[in-house]
């Protein structure tokens, strides 16, 4: 499983990366906004969070562009790998 090359990759970063990857895949899978929103909320809840907590976590990452970039690179790489395995 890919992770940031940075030695400061935390369990919280991993949790967020996994959750965000699932959210992006869900958004692609369910173009209907109502259905997609419901599935996204389910993903967030499964991870033991509520939507405001997720939004706050995302906002905190925007304050650290390097960390956010590392997370997004990891998320996109994982999604590409999943697509390769699915095809």
Cα 52 to Cα 64: distance, rounded to the nearest angstrom: 19
H or E stretch covering 41: helix 33-46
Cα 2 to Cα 42: distance, rounded to the nearest angstrom: 24
- Place 31 in a pLDDT band, splitting at 50, 70 and 90: confident
- Please give the pLDDT value at position 1: 44
Residue range 3-20: mean pLDDT, rounded: 81
- Please give the pLDDT value at position 82: 78
6 Rama class: left (phi>0) / alpha (psi -120 to 50) / beta = beta
Answer whether 0.95 is exceeded by the pTM.
no
Q: Is the pLDDT of residue 37 over 90?
A: yes
- Place 85 in a pLDDT band, splitting at 50, 70 and 90: low
């Amino acid at each position: 499983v890919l992770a940031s090359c940075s030695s400061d990759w935390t369990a919280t970063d991993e949790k967020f990366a996994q959750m965000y990857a699932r959210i992006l895949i869900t958004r692609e899978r369910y173009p209907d906004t109502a259905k997609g929103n419901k599935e996204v909320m389910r993903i967030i809840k499964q991870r033991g969070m509520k939507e405001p907590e997720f939004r706050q976590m995302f906002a905190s990452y925007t304050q650290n562009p390097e960390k956010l970039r590392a997370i997004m690179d990891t998320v996109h790489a994982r999604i590409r790998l999943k697509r390769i395995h699915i095809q």
